[in-house]
Amino acid sequence: MGINAKLAKSVKSEYAVLLVLLLMCIVIATTTRQFAEMQNIFNIIRRTATTGIIALGMTFVIATGGIDLSVGGQVNLISCIGAMILAKKQDVVVVVLAMLIIGIFIGMLNGLMISYLHLTPFMVTLAMMNITTGLAFFWTTGKTLFDIPEKFGFLGIGTIGSIPIAAAIFIVLSIIAIFIFNKFAFGRRVLAVGGNSQGAWYAGINVKSTILMSYIISGLCSAIASVLLMSRLMSASPSMGSGMEMDAIAAVVVGGNSLAGGNGFIVGAVAGALIMEVITNWMNLVSVDPFLRNVIKGIIILVALIVDMLRRGKQTNS
Amino acid sequence: MAAKIEKLELSHVYKSFDNINALTDIGFVLNKGHVCGLLGENGAGKSTLMKILNGVLQPDKGEIRLNGEPIRFSSPSKAKELGIEMVYQELNMLPNLSVMENIYISQLHNNRAGYIRWKALRLETIEWIEKLKVDLDPDIHVGKLKVAHQQIVAIIRALATNCSLLILDEPTSALTAKDTQTLLDLLRRLKELDYIIIFISHKLDEVLQISDEVVVIRNGEKVGMFPTCELSQNQLAELIAGRKLEKKFPKVKYPIGDVILDVQNVTVPGLLEDISFTLCKGKILGFSGLLGSGKTEVAKLLFGVFGGNYSGKIYLNSKLYKPANPKKAVKAGIGLIPENRAKEGLITSQNVFTNIIIASLSLFSTIGIIRGKNSNETADSFIKSLHIKCNDQSSLIRSLSGGNQQKVVLAKWLAARSQIIIFDEPTRGIDVGAKVEVYNLMNDLVEKGVGVILMSSENDEIYHMSDNICILKNGRVTAMVSAEDITLEKMDSLM
């Protein structure tokens, strides 16, 4: 294929989101001096890691045709519980493990109610968002917890060589997620359930356990993100995760995954998370009016949806 | 409102997509009060031609004339304005609205304030019901009607927009014999009322019954336009396929093996009553009966769709088998090629590869990871052996024709090494040539020792392809005989 044809093909494919990200970075780097500075880039990467990891889990849930609005609340609850345990028992490993288990547990509750009780994902996870955030506020009495030992900061702020650990963890998890969707039988089952859950059932797939697993993965990812966030900020507050569910969903959709399910495009979700974070960073650097920031974020999401719709329109037969 | 169409003329119509010729030099004339059958294999160009008449596509070359005047359908709404309407296979009804609302949905009478004039709506609906001599209640929710009646509503909906040329796409594929006759009677009424009707179907006997002439299309070209009085079904089938068709039903007899499936006194509350039958290797077991007689229910029961909600015993290879869910059925080695292919047989948003291995993931994975080479090669080998027409295994299911999609469903069970495959209405909506392919595939399965159960509402299909026939009526078995011991007429009487 000639270079023009190749370019045209990649623009029309789902990988176009990477081109968008690249273009965006180039434009911003040339117009805003501080963007390309090492410290700034590292900050972007660290921040993207937390929403990005949640977006990875969210990709699984959305791929099965569901949604998980509780991830932000999970971050609130899990980090506050983690901080409270850390204040009593200074063992980092134990605390991290406990946080992961709580995430898995909350994900399991979501998944059981959705797949076995047949309740709608939107409502179940909305309720769970309220419950988790509420519990976080209740147990911390609304206060931010700062009693976090130095050594905990390693994961969020530390680096291996010149790469932030948070980024390394994010990259490794992303690669695992890509592998799962492409090479694992579980990945096929997720895509089948999201594409046509009845057809998947008729093919002998255990639809309920597949959906359950996707929410457990989302919970686990929320827990990992909590660890990194708490480690980076060296504090835990009952509202620090609020809103992350929207950012994660935006990242997954901007990346080209259909909300209706059936797509497991991890690269897109990662690119989507980066796009959202780069835009936020730029708005910071050029001091965009704080009240306009959400407006701009919202417009980006709409543009991404329209572009994705146009791209899909070209692929499906009419 | 445009004048009534009394004559439709196509001359030298050409259409191609990306250098592939879809239609070449198509021309014919239709007059009012005529029913014309449009026949051709899947992919011959019938839907392209209809889309041109509909205004969805524009011809590259050629002329269309209505009542002698050349017309350009710039858009679907222009075609509707001129009086051309189409009733699709998928009907697209609004089940939660009433018959009259469905009929007039696109033109709900309203005065300037936007209110609906219900009285006028009901009166006009009743006018149509009486004019066409059909049996419908204007207020009943369409969702509560059986398919045959929903179809009549769809037809009236088309007629109510001042239409004079009606195109029907596979109208009888989901109808019982009785309902088909009701529909054909309606079409005869429309003939009397001087409508022009184009009837697209694979059911040659019905086409011959109702049409005045037929247009046969093959590979985008017109084979010819023939008055139906001069043709027999066999001649028609050969014209469509373009070759002398070997036996319509390639039945082969194989040596009889052991009993693989033994169903004893099975009852599914409300659906099946005291059903018993056995399946042996080497013999095809056919289930016959009207729509709703229980054929699909037997298939679903064996496949675990009803869960534990049944009484009676089922033995698979002499071992007790409890079909609790499809997963268990698949594990036990049973595969189902369902009636509703899109919803139950395939994941249409995925590609051919995924759909072929989706029921046998554990066979193709080690510790949860799919063995790429092994699975890809298997998928390729099935694409080859079943002659599945697609670009390659990464093609989306959506891009395949109905017949090829059906083959993917079969490939799925072959990949899962099923020992019994149930075919539920496998040749519905599939053209004559492709049907023979399906029958040959069934023969291959029997030869390899796979148990084959066939459910069909086409009696001659059951009669010719089965070794043993089970006739169902209202969920009960009315006959369980060998094909040699019964005739088509007797089958009809027992249904």
Give pLDDT tens digits for A116-145.
999 999 999 999 999 999 999 999 999 999
Residues of A in contact with B338 (CB under 8 A): 202
At A316, is the pLDDT very low, low, confident or very high (cuts 50, 70, 90)? very low
Q: Is the pLDDT of residue A212 over 70?
A: yes
Q: Is the pLDDT of residue A318 over 50?
A: no
B301/A contact by beta carbon, under 8 A: no
**Residue B286, C-beta contacts closer than 8 angstroms, at least 6 positions apart:** B453, B454, B455, B456, B461, B462, B463, B465, B466, B468, B469, B470, B483
Are A262 and B357 inside 8 Å of each other by CB? no
Q: Is the pLDDT of residue B378 over 70?
A: yes
**Does ipTM come in above 0.85?**
no
Amino acid found at B245: L
Rounded Cα distance, B495 and B487, in Å: 13
Q: Mean pLDDT, to the nearest integer, of A227-240? A: 93
Residues of B in contact with A316 (CB under 8 A): 398
At B76, is the pLDDT very low, low, confident or very high (cuts 50, 70, 90)? confident
CA distance B436 to chain A (A): 26
B336/A contact by beta carbon, under 8 A: yes
B369/A contact by beta carbon, under 8 A: yes
Q: Is the pLDDT of residue B245 over 70?
A: no
Q: What percent of chain B has pLDDT over 90?
A: 49
B259, containing H or E segment: strand B259-268
At B16, is the pLDDT very low, low, confident or very high (cuts 50, 70, 90)? confident
> B330 in helix, strand or coil?
helix
* Facing residue for B399 by CB, picked from A189, A192, A317: A317
Can you give the pLDDT at residue B235? 85
At B125, is the pLDDT very low, low, confident or very high (cuts 50, 70, 90)? very high
Residues of B in contact with A201 (CB under 8 A): 325-326
Can you give the pLDDT at residue B78? 87
Rounded Cα distance, B494 and B323, in Å: 29
Can you give the pLDDT at residue A317? 40
Can you give the pLDDT at residue B199? 92
- Higher pLDDT: A35 or B18? It is A35
Q: Is the pLDDT of residue A8 over 70?
A: no
Can you give the pLDDT at residue A2? 62
- Higher pLDDT: B404 or A206? It is A206
Can you give the pLDDT at residue A11? 62
Can you give the pLDDT at residue A269? 97
Q: pLDDT tens digits for B400-455?
A: 877 788 899 999 999 999 999 999 999 887 777 778 888 999 999 999 999 999 99
B150/A contact by beta carbon, under 8 A: no
B473, containing H or E segment: strand B468-473
Chain B: residue whose CA lies nearest to A260? B349
Q: Mean pLDDT, to the nearest integer, of B444-470? A: 92
* Facing residue for B354 by CB, picked from A192, A316, A317: A192
Residues of B in contact with A257 (CB under 8 A): none
Q: Mean pLDDT, to the nearest integer, of A261-289? A: 93
Quick check: B272 and B298 in contact, CB under 8 A?
Answer: yes
Q: What percent of chain A has pLDDT over 70?
A: 94
Can you give the pLDDT at residue B244? 67
Residues of A in contact with B343 (CB under 8 A): 196, 198-199
At A10, is the pLDDT very low, low, confident or very high (cuts 50, 70, 90)? low
**Per mean pLDDT, which of A109-113, A159-163, B102-106 is the most reliable?**
A109-113
Can you give the pLDDT at residue B452? 96
For chain B, helix (H) and strand (E) counts, in that order, are: 17, 22
Amino acid found at B422: I
Are B346 and A191 inside 8 Å of each other by CB? no
The pTM (predicted TM-score) of the whole model is: 0.78
Q: pLDDT tens digits for A146-169?
A: 888 887 887 777 777 778 889 999
Those of residues 56-85 in A touching chain B at CB distance below 8 A are: none
* Matching residue, tokens 């897109």: A268
B439/A contact by beta carbon, under 8 A: no
Q: What percent of chain A has pLDDT over 90?
A: 69
Are A188 and B370 inside 8 Å of each other by CB? yes
A90/B contact by beta carbon, under 8 A: no
**Residue A144, C-beta contacts closer than 8 angstroms, at least 6 positions apart:** A235, A236, A237
At B88, is the pLDDT very low, low, confident or very high (cuts 50, 70, 90)? confident
C-alpha pair distances (Å), B95 with each of A229, B119, B142, B291, B339: 50, 21, 5, 20, 21
CA distance A306 to chain B (A): 20
Are B349 and A195 inside 8 Å of each other by CB? yes
Can you give the pLDDT at residue A151? 79
Rounded Cα distance, A11 and A18, in Å: 9
B484: left (phi over 0), alpha (psi -120 to 50) or beta: alpha
CA B54 to chain centre: 22
Q: Mean pLDDT, to the nearest integer, of A194-206? A: 93
Mean pLDDT lowest among A81-95, B336-350, B421-435: B421-435
Are B369 and A184 inside 8 Å of each other by CB? yes
Q: Mean pLDDT, to the nearest integer, of B6-28? A: 87
Specify burial of residue A260 (Cβ count, 10 A radius: 0-12, 13-18, 19+): exposed
DSSP letter assigned to residue B342: I
Are A202 and B362 inside 8 Å of each other by CB? no
Are A199 and B343 inside 8 Å of each other by CB? yes
Q: Mean pLDDT, to the nearest integer, of B329-357? A: 93
Residue B61 structure tokens: 């070359």
Are A191 and B350 inside 8 Å of each other by CB? yes
Averaged confidence pLDDT in chain B: 89
- Higher pLDDT: B244 or A18? It is A18
* Facing residue for B349 by CB, picked from A189, A206, A262: A262
Q: Is the pLDDT of residue B227 over 70?
A: yes
> B340 in helix, strand or coil?
coil
- Higher pLDDT: B226 or A103? It is A103
Those of residues 166-195 in B touching chain A at CB distance below 8 A are: none
Are A262 and B344 inside 8 Å of each other by CB? no
Q: pLDDT tens digits for A26-80?
A: 999 999 888 888 889 888 998 899 999 999 999 999 999 999 999 999 999 999 9
A195/B contact by beta carbon, under 8 A: yes
Q: Is the pLDDT of residue B278 over 50?
A: yes
* Facing residue for A204 by CB, picked from B338, B350, B359: B359
B479, containing H or E segment: strand B476-482
Chain A: residue whose CA lies nearest to B357? A188
Q: Give the DSSP letter string of B61-77.
A: EEEEEETTEEE---SHH
